Chains A and B, each alone.
Chain A
Amino acid sequence: MELARIPLRRLGERLAEGIDSTLLVLALSLSFIGLAALYSASYDNPARIANQLAHLALGLAAMWLVAQVPPQTLMRFALPAYALGLALLVAVALFGDVVNGAQRWLRVGLVRFQPSEMMKLAVPLMLAWTFHRNESSLRLRDFAMAALLLAVPVALIVKQPDLGTAALVAAAGTYVIFFAGIGWKLLAGLAAAGLASLAPLWGLLHEYQRKRILMLLDPTQDPLGSGYHIIQSTIAVGSGGLVGKGWLNGTQAHLEFIPERHTDFIFAVFAEEFGLAGGALLLLLYTLLVARGLMIAANAPTLFARLLAGAIALMFFTYVFVNLGMVTGILPVVGVPLPFISYGGTALLTVFIGIGLLMSAQRHRKLVQT
């Protein structure tokens, strides 16, 4: 008995090692809320809950694994991950599958996956590493280099076209550059250059791709598509009121007025059933998550860890802001899932790996300082 208990406790200790409890509690609370919303949104397909639980388990395992890796080791993955991601993006452009009129998917054996998704983390890793290497003397040249490293994958993703992901990757890279201490004027210049480079890219797109993009900017052009999404999701959110209609009682969701109700528009289901109270709780949890991330960044020992943690914290913010803005009708409809809540394996995996990276930066703080 005694012998059996000790290894078990050790195992528990080993498992808990390097896990930031604040982040874990926040991530699990959000995931739990997500499952509740998903259950309501998926009355027509109960198998989704089981799938999402599997995704969750996979995400937690990935998070734990990444948290064990010290930032110094993470740095070594920066270049290979970036290079691989870039190669895969080129492969998608050449041989990718076309789904929904956009070429995003790469088929490896039976599995189709989206290389642009891995760039969401590979780009901040790469940029943080680049700045870290030249830490002692950051000059204009380094910022120019970083801008180039950012521009190439973003251009490839815009070409697919996947404006949503391209914007997220661009944001992730910009956050790293911002935290690295770029001058305000230079930052403004970089933003202007980024906007200006959209013009020649426009010429490269197919006619139907352009139409898709214009539709994002003006949903009323497509009342059967995006415009319909926004009208219906706004009604769902607004009709929720202060405390909502109660779990599983959302009429908009259950009469199938809300499109994509288990993925990108899941917040509409949640807000209809839990009202302003639920929405406020969700915002609070996200605020705490981002704050914890920024705190980890502020206390991180190396430039690499600081930049990475800062960028990831702001990435979480960006996901949440873009998704909620879209569902409540203040931002155009782009395909951005709500972290921890939306259904989907790849998105959840990315989110949990992000948490793992934050934990890695937090855990190895003291080791280096001493």
Chain B
Amino acid sequence: MPMRAAELRNTERELYQFHVRVGIAGLAVLVAFGLLAARFVFLQVAQHDAYRAKAEDNRISIVPVAPNRGLIVDRNGIVLARNFSAYTLEIFPRRLSDLERTIDELAEIVDIQPKDRARLRKLLAETRNAESLPIRTRLTDEEVAKFAANRYRFPGVDIKARLFRQYPFGETASHVIGYIGRINRDDQARLEEEGLDANYRGTEYIGKAGIEASYQNELHGTTGLEQVEIDAAGRGIRTLSRTPSQPGNDVALTLDIRLQEVAEAAFGARRGALVALEPSTGAVLAFVSKPGFDPNLFVDGIDPQSWAELNNSPDRPLNNRAIAGLYPPGSTFKPYMALAALELGKRTPRSTIFDPGYFEFGGRRFRDSKPGGHGVVDLYKSIVKSSDTYYYMLANDMGIDAIAGFMKHFGFGAKTGIDLQGEALGVLPSPEWKTRRFRRPEQQKWYAGETISIGIGQGYNSYTPVQLAQAIATLANSGVTFRPRLVSHVDNLRSGGRRYLEPQLAHRVPARAEHLEFVRNAMAGVNREGTGARAFAGAQYTSAGKTGTAQVIGLKQGEKYIESKVEERLRDHSLFIAFAPVESPKIALAVVVENSGFGARAAAPVARTVLDYFLLGKLPEIMTRPTPEDEVEEEEGD
């Protein structure tokens, strides 16, 4: 009993203590809420007049000041993307009750095409929370004057002076430079996720493709702000204070725009891709994806008709073939196979095979591209004359695991890490890849017969042109790979500082110097006395190359490929890889010309044209038209 009494007392004491604490809490709540009430009184009674004045008469608006976007220049400082100032007619959609009627009335004063209306509708649908959107860009002085006289009629319309992005070279290097466009919902969400949204208040444009996208953070700059008094209609009265914006950095490419023009001219109207690298650094010297597009179309928001034309064209001009196009390497794969054979001890330079024009395996004939074959073939001849039979046998002897294991050192089937977005992976075939790629067990199995055509760069092999270029640059640079990159340095205009982007060592191929030397020598033989000899006849420098022809369609057993009978888009792709000069390579490149047949016929002459200009400064005959820069100078001279 005394125990229980004590416990009871204890409980009572605890309850009493609890009530005390509830009382303390209640008091604290009253004090805190009293504090808030005092704050309300202070703001709404004591300071009311001041705040009412701020709210009613002089609303202070903090207006972000968008920074000027940095320039993009080529390796010699030639401007590839610049800004120019122009007047635009802007519509403030939220201040308008009847958008269509306003536009109709505007059309009486300034020229507004159906194209402009369509673009505005597209922008309205895509853009979130935009204060104003352009209905017309690049007004003439006359139009500006006309609208100014009628401005009182249009409360939700105003003229703005804005900077526009311009790409003076148009289609040239369009897949490198890319373009900017209005910030859309996806961009906005990404900026918020990266915590960059505050710095993008006031910014309307963002890089969408190419260098404009991948170096967006360098090019953008820092947003400034102005405290502005605005009237009840939201128009600015005067600026109270100003923190200036800081312009974005200028980005200088490794690309030589003149070489780029030569390379694109060499393609003519044909589709394809070319990537030229400096083997000792990975710097991209030329980067072609044909056809291109005019990036200027995208700047003010592309009109739906141009968009449909670009998007629906069977030539896929928006597709960046150099990093996202996948092509079988064809016979350009053979030099790497030869190096693998030497390195793994499967062949020696002296050993020979007999090539009857086919290789028989499992009751199936794998045919050589030369009917009747090349007769007795050693390793050197197998590259120079491009014997298929030699590599059918070699692939069979090596096995798929050894091939895949060696080829990955050259970066085949892996992203190169070039500083552009949207790089494709490609396929370096292996039994593991097949297991990952396919679902059904019978599809997942690797058949020995599949290894055979891997040896000549067909089968499941498919790589991007930038991978092909990286591989040949690696071979030219004695097995050392530098990551391909397009930007040489970044200039900060305010500080005058310049930051160089260092070459990045990607990996080394485990191969002996004498083996690399042998393969390079055989590739020099290709251009001297082999399949590349015709394209390189009379060259005033030494060069090494390898032709390739990639099948677009598979042929049935016994079926013969007759070019004239095959539909144009199903014809073979023409490939060429090369580097020059042989002794100390300054340039290595890979060329793909789509649906153009033998590598020797279409791709090798493109490579010759590019090397001639790069090493000798020799312009091809097709390039007699003046460049945009020259035109400007001529105008100024008049």
Contact present for B26 and A238 (CB under 8 Å): no
Q: Give residues of chain B (167-198) contacting chain A, Cβ–Cβ below 8 Å.
A: 192-195, 198
- Once A181-B14, A276-B40, A280-B40 are accepted as A-B contacts, the answer to whether A239 and B56 lie under 8 Å apart by CB is yes
Question: Do residues B39 and A328 form an inter-chain contact, with CB atoms below 8 A?
Answer: yes
Is A317 located at the chain interface by the 8 A CB criterion?
yes
Answer yes or no: B234 CB below 8 A from chain A CBs.
Answer: yes
- Counting CB contacts under 8 A, is B500 at the interface? no
A160 interface residue, CB < 8 Å from B? no
Q: Which of B33, B45, B64, B201 contacts A241 (CB 8 A)?
A: B45
Indicate whether B55 reaches chain A with its CB closer than 8 angstroms. yes
Picked from A212, A224, A272, A325, the residue with its CB within 8 Å of the CB of B195 is: A212
Q: How far is the CB of B65 from chain A (nearest CB, A)?
A: 10
CB distance from A329 to the nearest CB of B (A): 8
Indicate whether B37 reaches chain A with its CB closer than 8 angstroms. yes
A101 touches B40 (CB 8 A): no
Residues of A within 8 A of B232 (CB): 251
B21 interface hit (Cβ, 8 Å): yes
Contact with B along A231-261 (1 / 0, CB 8 A): 1001111111110000000011001010000
Q: Is B44 an interface residue (CB 8 A)?
A: yes
Across the interface, do B55 and A325 meet the contact criterion of CB distance under 8 Å?
no
Contacts of A280 in B (CB 8 A): 37, 40
Interface stretch, picked from B46-54, B106-114, B462-470, is B46-54
Q: A181-B17, A234-B51 are in contact. Are A275 and B195 (CB under 8 A)?
A: no
Q: In the bound complex, do residue B18 and residue A179 qualify as a contact, i.e. CB atoms below 8 Å apart?
A: yes
Task: Say if the beta carbon of A310 comes within 8 Å of chain B.
Answer: yes
A306 near B52: Cβ-Cβ < 8 Å: no
CB of B223 within 8 A of chain A?
A: yes
In the complex, what residues of B have CB within 8 A of residue A235's CB?
A: 51, 54-55, 60
Quick check: A224 and B55 within 8 Å, CB to CB? no
Complex contacts, A208 vs chain B, CB 8 Å: 195
Q: Is the CB of B56 within 8 A of A287?
A: no
Say whether B408 faces chain A, with CB atoms less than 8 Å apart. no
Cross-chain contact A283 with B44 (CB below 8 angstroms) = no
Q: Which residues of A contact B51 (CB under 8 A)?
A: 234-235, 237-239
Q: How far is the CA of A235 from the CA of B19 in the complex (A)?
A: 41
A224 and B36 contact, CB distance less than 8 A:
no
- Given known pairs A208-B195, A235-B54, the reply for A324 and B43 (CB within 8 Å) is no
Which of A101, A257, A283, A287 meets B194, CB within 8 Å?
A101
Question: In the bound complex, do residue B193 and residue A99 qualify as a contact, i.e. CB atoms below 8 Å apart?
Answer: yes
Q: How far is A181 from B40 in the complex, measured between Cα atoms in Å?
A: 35
**Is the CB–CB distance between A239 and B48 below 8 Å?**
yes
Residue of A nearest to B13 (CB): A181
Q: Is the CB of B55 within 8 A of A251?
A: yes
Interfacial chain A residues near B198, Cβ < 8 Å: 222, 224-225
Residue of B14, B56, B232 with most chain A CB atoms under a 10 A cut-off? B14
Pair A283/B22 contact, Cβ less than 8 Å: no
Q: Is the CB–CB distance between B59 and A234 below 8 Å?
A: no
Task: State whether B36 touches A325 (Cβ < 8 A).
Answer: yes
A181 lies within 8 A of B29 (CB): no
Name the one of A98, A179, A298, A317 contacting B29, with C-beta atoms under 8 angstroms.
Answer: A317
Expressed in whole angstroms, the Cα–Cα distance for A255 and B51 within the complex equals 16
B344 at the interface (CB under 8 A from A): no
A287/B33 contact (C-beta < 8 A), A181-B21, A239-B54, A280-B40 known: yes
Whether, in the assembled complex, B25 has its beta carbon less than 8 Å from a beta carbon of chain A, the answer is yes
- Cβ of A290 under 8 Å from chain B: yes
- Chain B residues contacting A241 (CB-CB under 8 Å) are 44-45, 48, 52
Across-interface contacts of B225 in A (CB, < 8 A): 223-224
Tell me the smallest distance from the CB of B233 to a CB of chain A, in Å.
9
Within the complex, what minimum Cβ distance (angstroms) separates B42 from chain A? 9
Once bound together, how far apart are the Cα atoms of A327 and B142, in whole Å? 49
- Per the 8 Å Cβ criterion, residues 11-36 of B in contact with A are 14, 17-19, 21-22, 25-26, 29-30, 32-33, 35-36
Q: Which residues between 388 and 415 of chain B lie within 8 Å of chain A, taking CB atoms?
A: none
Using A100-B192, A291-B26 as known contacts, say yes or no to A279 and B40 having CB atoms under 8 A apart: yes
The 8 Å CB contact of B44, one of A275, A286, A294, is A275
Given contacts A225-B198, A325-B36, A328-B39, contact A240 B44 (CB under 8 A): yes
What's the Cα separation between A148 and B629 when bound, in Å?
71
Interface size class on chain B is 35 or more
Cα distance A175–B18 in the bound complex, in angstroms:
12
Verify if A191 is at the interface (C-beta below 8 Å from B): no
B54 / chain A contacts, CB cutoff of 8 Å? 235, 238-239
Report the separation of the CA atoms of residues A251 and B53 in the bound assembly, to the nearest whole angstrom. Answer: 12
Please indicate the chain B residues that have their CB under 8 angstroms from the CB of A255 in the complex: 59, 234
A179 to chain B: which residues have CB within 8 Å? 18, 21-22, 25
CB of A61 within 8 Å of the partner chain: no
Q: CB of B376 within 8 A of chain A? A: no
- Nearest neighbor of A256 in chain B, beta-carbon distance: B94
Question: What residues of chain B lie closer than 8 Å to A317, measured between beta carbons?
Answer: 29, 32-33
Q: Which residues from A are CB-within-8-Å of B201?
A: 224
The reply on B553 being an interface residue by CB < 8 A is no
Complex alpha-carbon distance, A257 and B25, angstroms: 37
8 Å CB interface, A255-287 against B: 255, 257, 271-272, 275-276, 279-280, 283, 286-287
Q: Are B59 and A283 in touch, CB under 8 angstroms?
A: no
B41 is an interface residue with CB less than 8 A from chain A = yes
- 8 Å CB contact of B62 from A101, A224, A276: A224
B319 near A: Cβ within 8 Å? no
Q: Which residues of A contact B234 (CB under 8 A)?
A: 255
Given A237-B43, A271-B44, A328 contacting B59 (CB threshold 8 A): no
Q: Is B61 an interface residue (CB 8 A)?
A: yes
Interface centre among B29, B198, B199 (most CB of A within 10 A): B29
Assembled-state Cα–Cα distance A313/B21 (Å): 13
Inter-subunit contact B18/A234 (CB<8 Å) = no
Residues of chain B with a CB closer than 8 A to A291's CB: 26, 29
Residues in A whose Cβ lies below 8 Å from that of B192? 99-101
User: Which residues of chain B are within 8 angstroms of A77 by Cβ–Cβ distance?
Assistant: none
Give B101 Cβ to nearest chain A Cβ, in Å: 21
Chain B nearest CB: distance from A139 CB in Å? 14
A293 to B40, CA, bound (A): 25
- Residues in chain A near residue B18, CB distance under 8 A: 179, 181, 298, 306, 310
- Any B CB within 8 A of the CB of A113: no
Cβ-based interface call for A321 (8 A): yes
Complex CA distance for A279 and B38, rounded to whole angstroms: 11
Taking CB atoms and an 8 Å cut-off, the chain A residues in 103-150 that contact chain B are 136
Which residues of the partner chain B approach A252 to less than 8 Å between Cβ atoms? 55, 59
Contact status A328-B195, CB under 8 Å: no
Chain B residue, CB-CB nearest to A234: B43
Question: Could you say which of A101, A136, A290 contacts B193, with CB atoms under 8 Å apart?
Answer: A101
- Docked Cα-Cα span, A228 to B226, in Å, equals 12
- Nearest CB in chain B to that of A138: its residue: B14
Cβ–Cβ < 8 Å partners of B59 in chain A: 251-252, 255, 257
A36 to B135, CA, bound (A): 37
Q: A178 and B36 in contact (CB under 8 A), knowing A99-B193, A101-B193, A237-B43? A: no
Contacts of A314 in B (CB 8 A): 25, 29
Q: Which residues of A contact B43 (CB under 8 A)?
A: 234, 237-238, 328
| Min CB gap A275→B, angstroms | 6
Contact of A205 with B by CB under 8 A: no
A66 is an interface residue with CB less than 8 A from chain B = no
Q: Whole-angstrom distance between the alpha carbons of A315 and B145 in the complex?
A: 62
How far apart are B215's CB and chain A's nearest CB, in angstroms?
20
Task: Give Cα A125 to B48, complex, Å.
Answer: 44
CA distance A314 to B18 in the complex (A): 14
Closest 8 CB pairs of A and B: A238-B51, A101-B195, A239-B55, A238-B43, A276-B44, A239-B51, A241-B48, A239-B52
> Given A239-B56, A242-B48, A255-B59, list of 13 further CB < 8 A pairs?
A101-B194, A181-B17, A222-B198, A223-B243, A228-B62, A235-B54, A238-B51, A239-B48, A240-B48, A241-B45, A290-B29, A324-B36, A328-B36
11 residue pairs from A and B, CB less than 8 Å apart = A179-B25, A181-B14, A181-B18, A234-B51, A255-B59, A272-B55, A275-B44, A276-B45, A279-B44, A287-B30, A291-B26
